[in-house]
């Protein structure tokens, strides 16, 4: 098996085909002569050429679903963190080598052309990236499915560092044209907000919205492995329902006439950066209702078209997944349509809606569970607020009938707020957590009372990631080694990575594994040099923490240990220290002040340590700006060590942890989220475990002096905190980091101090293991061989069976 065997058809034919297509597209779609084309023109011409093959598969998939009347799965998500679509297209069509050669025949460099495509960054982090992996897996296993979301004009902000501080600027992914989307004006929907609710003579509710906005449909084909199946991502853009008010215009009120337009356009203007402190923002609620209402109507229209008008049969043909509480308003919207527009009784409507809806929870942090003030809800969505009361009433009656009195924790409305997590729970057929530990904690904590009432409702669906993007596409050296060693079956059945097991004792194989890793490290080293100016020696240990910046994820624990390590090297500069490059990547929510301070701290510490002549490359810190999906694709394959160091009980799952392990980076981590399952599969010997367990963490917090006790027991920690507090890293402003230091010394809710010594000890075990290259390669390869279970194909098959009761088309 050679790399070329991944491609479909004959290479010579494919190159000739692509060459011809690219030339034609350049002329007749872009309107440009190849001799005068820019890099952007080339990436568009390539994308348009690939697109035709995807569309063939798309049309065939659609025909199959209709002809066979298959059940459809709808994934509703405020976020889809896709990255570049062109890489998925090329990988899944098997046209990488052909594209490379076709472009070369025009004198163009394939990597540069692909890199021209901006990331579709319509998400904040894990939840959004999970939605993107899920869509790709649904297509790859042939599940009839559709993603629904918002077509934001601006995705997640661009991050740059000004004097080490995060500065945000707007992102503009659509500026240079999006070749992947198809406008569907025939499917546009009018969505209403506000206004009044009355009852007509027969007692039926009549809602007259005060303002309306058009939801305009844009479809993107999501092609699966080998283009055997293609699903759809439908994103809604807000447009004014009328260009402007002609009457006002004629009266000479020109600005007033355009008012409606500007309001409509703000709705899909920008993605909300994950910001749990800024709650109750009206625009966010309107965004949620806007895309959700458009999607529900679209789903019902398709159902009628395919299966007729009997909406009681909805659960047989439709499953809707709510990605966290963000689209929960879909539940009362569905009930509203059934009752107000289709003559259902309220109870019957609720029961029908419950037959199609399911809810995935992604966090236990109580402050992150959405709540909307009822006064806002009455103003923006009066009919829905009324129906939420009716749903609450239904839930009470249901339980009374079984002799159960509802505890207050399960109320839908409390203290003038609607609790979306509770509404989602009540309206869902299945509720799931995203790792075994997280699901267990859901049952014991936030949804405990619900779990007692409905013991079969909560199920676990451990997250996964797509191996096509996160191994095949992003890691050519390792992919090629796998093809040569065990063939290509693993791409669609990642469990087959187990076939590596016999090779883990073969030193020739391990040397090749190490060589593949080194090739990736050289690439990352060059990338870091260009992006940060930092020199990273490819023979040093590449220690990586990339994820959103958050106190619970504890980038500051990593940094404190780096400072302690620096102190140790300075004290004994002549010891044979293992050279390490500590790589950070990630954005902070713009309103999260402490997270932004942590960013500045990382940059300030990096400046001091990187300039210290005593370090001689043995400790380097690199923090490239604007971490995103495309950056992850360069960084992950080159990592030696995966930092998964959240306070136990706080990270619902993590998905980066899976990507690193798959690419041959052992984890240093706590027993949190999916780390637990990774360690179970990889084996305790090949996982660097440290820290309190989730249960111990709860106990530790009850000790009033836990931080002080941990600090006084650890001279290294004490010294590092003192250095931060006294301005060693901020000579221009000695008090810059006193808030961080105070927080650690006094509260330390996330138990950085309590876990510090154990973490530092685990880091020294890492150093010792890294001294033995062959042994390290075995550990790295063992990780790759044993994490096939974390393919999102496995996750989606499991949802299809246990949550959606939906079949794949093949």
* Catalytically active residues, by annotation: 362, 547-548, 553, 655, 659
DSSP-assigned beta bridge partners for residue 693: none
Nearer to ligand 26Q, 164 or 464 (CB): 464
Shortest Å distance, C-beta 595 to ligand 26Q: 14
The closest residue (CB) to ligand 26Q is 126
End-to-end CA distance of the chain: 26
Residue ranges of alpha helices (H) inside 625-737 are 629-635, 656-662, 675-682, 694-702, 706-713, 715-726
d(CA 713, CA 379): 56
Tell which residue, 557, 553, 539, 535, has the closest CA to residue 638: 539
Gyration radius (Cα) of the chain, Å: 27
In whole angstroms, give the CA distance from residue 759 to residue 669: 8
Whichever of 130 and 338 has its CB closer to ligand 26Q, that residue is 130
User: Please, what is the minimum distance in Å from the beta carbon of residue 806 to ligand 26Q?
Assistant: 21
Chain centre distance of CA 373: 28
Cross-strand partners of 541: 580
CA distances (Å), 428 to each of 292, 328, 384, in order? 16, 10, 17
Of 643, 619, 627, 600, the closest CA to residue 534 belongs to 619
C-beta of 589 vs 752, nearer to ligand 26Q: 589
Residue 357 to residue 299: CA distance in whole angstroms:
12
CB of 654 to ligand 26Q, least distance (A): 5
CA distance 3 to 797: 28
For the bound state, the minimum distance from the C-beta of residue 275 to ligand 26Q, rounded and expressed in Å, comes to: 5
SS3 letters for 449-497? HHHHHCCCCEEECCCCECHHHHHHHCCHHHHHHHHHHHCCHHHCCHHHH
Q: How far apart are CA 651 and CA 660, in angstroms?
A: 16
CB of 130 to ligand 26Q, least distance (A): 4
Distance between CA atoms of residues 108 and 203, nearest Å: 69
3-state secondary structure of 94: coil
Q: Which residue has the tokens 């300039």?
A: 611
Nearer of residues 110 and 272 to ligand 26Q, judged by Cβ: 272
Q: ∠ at Cα 655 (699, 444), nearest 5°?
A: 35
Closest of 645, 667, 670, 673 to residue 779, by C-alpha: 667
- Rounded to whole angstroms, what are the CA distances from 339 to 190, 352, 389, 418, 498? 19, 11, 14, 21, 53
Report the nearest approach of ligand 26Q to the CB of residue 441 (Å). Answer: 12
Nearest CB to ligand 26Q, comparing residues 154 and 618: 154
CB nearer to ligand 26Q: give 273 or 637. 273
Rounded to the nearest whole angstrom, what is the least distance from the CB of residue 46 to ligand 26Q in the complex?
Answer: 32
Dihedral angle of Cα 279, 280, 282, 284, to the nearest 10 degrees: 40
Structure token digits, residue 12? 């010579």
DSSP β-bridge partners for residue 582: 543, 621
Nearer to ligand 26Q, 284 or 390 (CB): 284
**Residue length, the chain?**
810
Q: Distance (Å, rounded) from C-alpha 131 to C-alpha 136?
A: 9
Name the residue nearer to ligand 26Q (CB basis): 125 or 315.
125
Name the 3-class secondary structure at 222. strand
| Residue 447 to residue 230: CA distance in whole angstroms | 37
Cross-strand partners of 213: 191, 240
Least distance (Å) between residue 586 CB and ligand 26Q: 12
DSSP state of 745: H
- Got the DSSP string for 547-565? S---GGGTHHHHHHHHHHH
- Minimum distance of ligand 26Q from residue 321's CB (angstroms): 12
| Residue with smaller CB distance to ligand 26Q, 729 or 750 | 750
Instruction: Select 361 or 532, whichever has its Cβ closest to ligand 26Q.
Output: 361
- To the nearest whole angstrom, how small is the minimum distance from the Cβ of residue 464 to ligand 26Q? 10
What pairs with residue 238 in β-bridges?
215
Q: Using DSSP bridges, classify how beta strands 211-223 and 688-689 pair: parallel, antiparallel or unpaired.
A: unpaired
CB of 442 to ligand 26Q, least distance (A): 13
User: Footprint of ligand 26Q on this chain (CB under 6 A)?
Assistant: 124-127, 130, 272, 274-275, 284, 362-363, 368, 370, 434, 463, 651-655, 673
Nearer to ligand 26Q, 472 or 655 (CB): 655
φ/ψ of 309, rounded to 5, equals -95, 0
d(C-alpha 789, C-alpha 480), whole Å: 21
**Alpha helix stretches (DSSP H) within 611-643:** 629-635
Of the two residues 286 and 512, which places its CB atom closer to ligand 26Q in the complex? 286
CB 409, min distance to ligand 26Q, A: 21
């Amino acid at each position: 098996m050679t790399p070329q065997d991944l491609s479909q058809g004959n290479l010579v034919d494919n190159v000739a085909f692509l060459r011809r297509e690219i030339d034609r597209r350049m002329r007749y779609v872009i309107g440009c002569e190849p001799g005068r084309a820019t890099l952007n023109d080339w990436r568009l011409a390539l994308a348009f050429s690939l697109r035709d093959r995807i569309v063939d598969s798309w049309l065939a998939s659609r025909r199959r679903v209709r002809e066979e009347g298959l059940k459809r799965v709808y994934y509703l998500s405020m976020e889809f963190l896709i990255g570049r679509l062109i890489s998925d297209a090329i990988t899944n069509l098997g046209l990488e080598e052909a594209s490379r050669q076709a472009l070369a025949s025009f004198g163009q460099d394939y990597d540069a052309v692909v890199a021209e495509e901006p990331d579709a960054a319509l998400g904040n982090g894990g939840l959004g990236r999970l939605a993107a992996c899920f869509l790709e897996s649904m297509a790859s296993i042939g599940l009839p499915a559709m993603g629904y979301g918002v077509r934001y004009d601006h995705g997640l902000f661009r991050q740059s560092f000004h004097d080490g501080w995060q500065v945000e600027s707007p992102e503009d992914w659509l500026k240079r044209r999006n070749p992947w989307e198809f406008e569907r004006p025939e499917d546009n929907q009018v969505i209403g907000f506000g206004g009044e609710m009355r009852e007509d003579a027969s007692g039926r509710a009549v809602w007259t919205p005060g303002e309306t906005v058009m939801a305009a449909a844009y479809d993107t084909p999501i092609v699966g492995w080998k283009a055997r199946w293609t699903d759809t991502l439908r994103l809604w853009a807000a447009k004014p329902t009328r260009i402007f008010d002609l009457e006002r215009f004629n009266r000479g009120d020109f600005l007033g006439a355009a008012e409606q337009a500007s309001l409509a356009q703000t709705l899909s203007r920008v993605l909300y950066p994950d910001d749990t402190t800024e709650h109750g923002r009206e625009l966010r609620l309107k965004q949620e209702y806007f895309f959700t209402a458009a999607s529900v109507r679209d789903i019902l229209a398709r159902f009628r078209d395919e299966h007729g008008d009997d909406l009681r049969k909805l659960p047989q043909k439709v499953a809707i997944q709510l990605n966290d509480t963000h689209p929960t308003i879909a539940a009362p919207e569905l009930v509203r349509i059934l009752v107000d527009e289709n003559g259902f009784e309220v109870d019957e409507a609720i029961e029908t809606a419950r037959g199609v809806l399911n809810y995935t929870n992604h966090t236990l942090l109580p402050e992150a569970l959405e709540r909307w003030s009822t006064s806002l809800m009455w103003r923006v969505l009066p009919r829905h607020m009324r129906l939420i009361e009716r749903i609450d009433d239904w839930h009470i009656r249901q339980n009374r009938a079984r002799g159960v009195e509802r505890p207050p924790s399960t109320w839908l409305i409390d203290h003038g707020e609607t609790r979306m997590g509770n509404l989602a729970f009540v309206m869902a057929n299945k509720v799931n957590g995203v790792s075994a530990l997280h699901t267990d904690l859901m049952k014991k904590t936030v949804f405990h009372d619900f779990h007692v009432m409905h013991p079969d409702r909560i199920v676990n669906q451990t997250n996964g990631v797509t191996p096509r993007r996160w191994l095949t596409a992003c890691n050519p050296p390792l992919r090629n080694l796998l093809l040569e060693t065990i063939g290509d079956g693993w791409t669609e059945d990642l469990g087959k990575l187990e076939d590596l097991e016999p090779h883990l004792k073969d030193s020739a194989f391990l040397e090749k594994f190490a060589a593949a890793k080194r090739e990736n490290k050289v690439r990352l080293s060059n990338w870091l040099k260009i992006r940060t100016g930092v020199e990273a020696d490819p023979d040093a240990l590449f220690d990586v923490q990339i994820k959103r910046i958050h106190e619970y994820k504890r980038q500051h624990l990593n940094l404190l240990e780096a400072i302690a390590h620096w102190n140790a090297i300075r004290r004994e500069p002549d010891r044979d220290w293992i050279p390490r490059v500590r790589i950070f990547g990630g954005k902070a929510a713009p309103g999260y002040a402490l997270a932004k301070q942590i960013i500045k701290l990382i940059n300030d510490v990096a400046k001091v340590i990187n300039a210290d002549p005593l370090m001689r490359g043995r400790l380097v810190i690199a923090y490239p700006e604007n971490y995103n999906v495309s950056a992850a694709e360069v960084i992950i394959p080159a990592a030696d060590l995966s930092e998964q160091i959240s306070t136990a009980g706080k990270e619902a799952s993590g998905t980066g942890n899976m990507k690193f392990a798959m690419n041959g980076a052992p984890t240093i981590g706590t027993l949190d989220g999916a780390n637990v399952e990774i360690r179970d599969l990889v084996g305790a010997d090949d996982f660097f475990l440290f820290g309190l367990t989730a249960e111990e963490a709860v106990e530790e917090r009850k000790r009033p002096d836990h931080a002080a006790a941990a600090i006084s027991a650890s001279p290294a920690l004490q010294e590092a905190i003192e250095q931060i507090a006294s301005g060693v890293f901020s000579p221009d402003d000695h008090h810059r980091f006193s808030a961080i230091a105070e927080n650690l010394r006094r509260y330390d809710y996330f138990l950085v101090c309590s876990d510090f010594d154990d973490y530092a000890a685990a880091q020294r075990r890492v150093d010792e293991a890294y001294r033995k290259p062959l042994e390290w390669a075995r550990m790295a390869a063992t990780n790759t061989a044993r994490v096939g279970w974390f393919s999102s194909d496995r996750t989606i098959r499991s949802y299809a069976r246990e949550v959606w009761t939906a079949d794949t088309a093949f």
